[in-house]
Amino acid sequence: MQQLTKDNKIIPTDSTLVYCDLETSDLRANVLLQIACNSKNKDLNLYCSPTGYLSPFCTNLTGLYSINGNLYKKGRKLSTFTVEQALFKFKQFIESYNTPVTLVCFNNFGFDAKVLVRHFLQKAVPLPSNLTHFADPLPAFKRLLKTEKLTNFKLGTLCTHFDVSLIEAHDAKFDSLSLQVLCEKVSEQRNLTVVDFLDKYVKPVDHFIKQQTQK
C-alpha cells in the first residue's frame, strides 16, 4: 500500500522531480548504454562502455554502435564509463539534491525503473539514499487523452501533439529534457502542479527492489 503524506500526496511535498531516460541495447536491456537526467538547472549525461553485442536494431534506433569495444555515434567516438562507474556517478548526482528525489521517466513502470534497479542490484552499487519514488507520466497522458484519436502514446507523438520540441528521439539526454518540458507545459495548461499531474502514477523504490529480488 502506498504511503500518503499528511496532505494526501504520495510524492513527498519536499521532493525534487528529476527527469530521466535510459538507452539500452534492446528491450531486454542487458546492455546499459546511456543514462541522462535533468532538473533544476542540473543535468547529467553518461555513456556506458558496451559490454555486449549491439544489433542493427539498436543502431537504427539510437544511433549508437560499437567498434573494438568503443561506443560511437554518428562517426564520433564517445567518452564512456563502465556501468559501475556510471551508476556511482548517477548516485552522486541524485544525492547532490538535499531533498527526497522522485525519478520521472516515460514508461517508468514498464521499463526504466525495472532496468535501473536491476543494474544497481546486479553491480552491487547502493541505490541513491534519497531516491524514494519513481513516477510514470505515460499512464497520466493516457488518462488525459483517452478521448483523443492519437495513433500511439510514444513520447515523440505526445511532443508533436503538444507542440514540444524533441531534438533527437531515443537519445536519453534529449528525451529527458523534452519530457520535462512536456510535463510542465501540460500541467500549467490545466492549472496543476507537475506533482498533482503525476501523483496517481507513483510507486516507491522498494516496490521495484522487491520485484527484482523475488524473481
CATH topology of domain 17-213: Nucleotidyltransferase; domain 5 (3.30.420)
Residue 4's pLDDT is 38
C-alpha Rg value of the chain to the nearest Å: 17
3-state class (DSSP) for residue 46: strand
Rounded to two decimals, the pTM is: 0.93
Residue with cell 529534457: 177
Beta carbons of 101 and 131 less than 8 angstroms apart: yes
Nearest to 119 by CA among 66, 173, 51, 174: 51
Q: What angle do CA 120, 28, 132 make, to 5 degrees?
A: 35
Mean pLDDT by 10 residues, the chain (215 residues): 48 91 88 94 95 89 94 96 98 96 97 96 97 97 91 96 95 97 96 93 95 85
Q: What are the residue ranges spanned by the domains of the chain?
A: 17-213
Residue 3's pLDDT is 43
Beta carbons of 73 and 64 less than 8 angstroms apart: yes
Residue 27's pLDDT is 76
Please enumerate in sequence order all residues whose Cβ is within 8 A of that of 63, keeping only pairs 6 or more positions apart, or say none.
73, 74, 168, 170, 171
The whole-angstrom separation of Cα 50 and Cα 70 is: 7
Residue 9's pLDDT is 61
Please enumerate in sequence order all residues whose Cβ is within 8 A of that of 115, keeping only pairs 6 or more positions apart, or say none.
22, 24, 29, 32
Cell of 130: 534519497
E strands, 105-159, where? Answer: 131-135
The whole-angstrom separation of Cα 191 and Cα 20 is: 24
Which residue type sits at 4? L
